[in-house]
Amino acid sequence: MLIGSAGAMVGALLMFPQGGVLLHEAWHTVLAEGDAVQKQVTVPMLEAVDSFPFGIVLVIFAYGIAIGFVFTLPKGYGEQLPPWIKVGGVGQLNTTWSRWSSWC
């Protein structure tokens, strides 16, 4: 489970630079000289906008796997966590993941 959590975290951290590169590409496409009809800005812009929330979801998913299944938390620590981040099982993670990934 630790390898899965680490892999999800690495994937999440790679989504943010990818979104930045796509925003950079869209920005330079807008500033490039040429006919406005030939400029394809929509696709890189939408991909960039999708990359950031997907990266955030992956961070939450990796955190949920690590805290829920890998590490043992001290007593009382779970009460300090917000209710939406408490993991009850793999089924709950799968449901949460499918809802967020369909939104992204």
- For the CA atoms of 13, 69, 97, 48, the dihedral, rounded to the nearest 10 degrees, stands at 0
pTM for the predicted model, two decimal places: 0.63
Does residue 63 contact residue 85 with C-beta atoms inside 8 Å? yes
Least confident of 50-59, 62-71, 75-84: 75-84
Rounded-to-integer distance, Cα 80 and Cα 76, Å: 7
Q: What are the residue ranges spanned by the domains of the chain?
A: 2-103
Confidence of residue 37 (pLDDT cuts 50, 70, 90): low
Whether residue 8 is predicted with pLDDT greater than 70 in this model: the reply is yes
